[in-house]
Amino acid sequence: PGHPPEQSLTTKGIPYMENRTDWNKHRIKRMLENSRYCGRDDFPPIIPADTFGAVAALIGQKSQGEPLSEELDSIRSKAICGACGVKYKRDGRSKKYEAWCCSAEGRITPKRITDQALLESVTDILNAIISNPILLELPSPHREHYSLDVARTENHINRELEKSEVDSDYIKLLIFGCAAAKYEACADTEPEYLTSQLLAIFEGHPPLEAFSIRLFEDTVKQVVIDSDGSLWLRMINGKLIQNQAGKE
């Protein structure tokens, strides 16, 4: 009793593969994480299924750390890396030290991002919008900015119609093509609608004393964290807003 399992297995000379009996904790961990050892894929069961399940739950709990608060989980679901677009994750394996980082291997921010810093940064930007809703405005789009190709196609249609013998099938193709090009060139009205929706929410909204899950969920599409640790909010209308107060 009291001996590590890898030491006991090595002492007893139990092989983990042919002619190899030098067990270590990593080999045992790999076994405990592989479901074939509890009888899957026609392998004989070595580890009881309930033991395998309990170990898997324990490993998962240790790798994830403490469960996230509702506020932090809300931010996590929308947080992405500004450098590569991959989701951000929270490294909370240590109870005394947590940090947010890009889930792409090897990409870290030079400045540690803590839970408190993340909550405060997002709340500061939301408060900046509350005090100045004009931040939500998008540049005015050009109304029906038709391309040169559209103008040429329209002239082509007119010339075809002036001919004594009209090829109706060909003209139909030209008209459909011209209509499609015009449709693409027309300004997308959805961002304007979403901007008016955002303005209705933020105008007259009382300043936040703490992070608001409801306001965040209703108005923010993404939390973009740059490689230098600076933070932006991409609102549901596509507008990117940074915390100007935090900029140097």
Out of 5-14, 127-136, 239-248, least confident range: 239-248
**pLDDT number for residue 10:** 82
160 and 173 Cβ atoms separated by less than 8 Å: no
Count CA atoms closer than 13 A to 29's CA, side-chain side: 6
**133-137, 182-186, 242-246, range with greatest mean pLDDT:** 133-137
Question: Of 204, 230, 209, nearest to 118 (Cα)?
Answer: 230
170-198 pLDDT, tens digit per residue, is 989 999 888 887 776 665 667 888 999 99
194 and 181 Cβ atoms separated by less than 8 Å: no
CA gap 58, 93 in Å, rounded: 13
Look at residue 106 and tell me whether its pLDDT is greater than 60.
Answer: no
52 and 32 Cβ atoms separated by less than 8 Å: yes
Question: Of 84, 83, 117, 85, nearest to 100 (Cα)?
Answer: 117
**Tokens representing 116?**
């408190």
β-pairing, 79-81 vs 220-225, is parallel
| pLDDT band, very low/low/confident/very high, at 8 (cuts 50, 70, 90) | confident
* Residue that wins the pLDDT comparison between 105 and 138: 138
Greatest alpha-carbon pair distance for the chain in Å reads 104
In the chain, where the domains are located: 5-64, 70-138+190-246, 148-185
Look at residue 96 and tell me whether its pLDDT is greater than 50.
Answer: yes
Residues 6+ apart with CB under 8 A from 239: 135, 136, 137, 138, 195
| pLDDT band, very low/low/confident/very high, at 46 (cuts 50, 70, 90) | confident
Run of H or E residues at 89: strand 88-94
**pLDDT number for residue 125:** 97
Torsion of CA 170, 174, 177, 182, to 10 degrees: -160
CA gap 192, 195 in Å, rounded: 5
Share of the chain above pLDDT 90, in %: 33
Run of H or E residues at 241: strand 240-242
Residues 6+ apart with CB under 8 A from 164: none
The structure's pTM equals 0.58
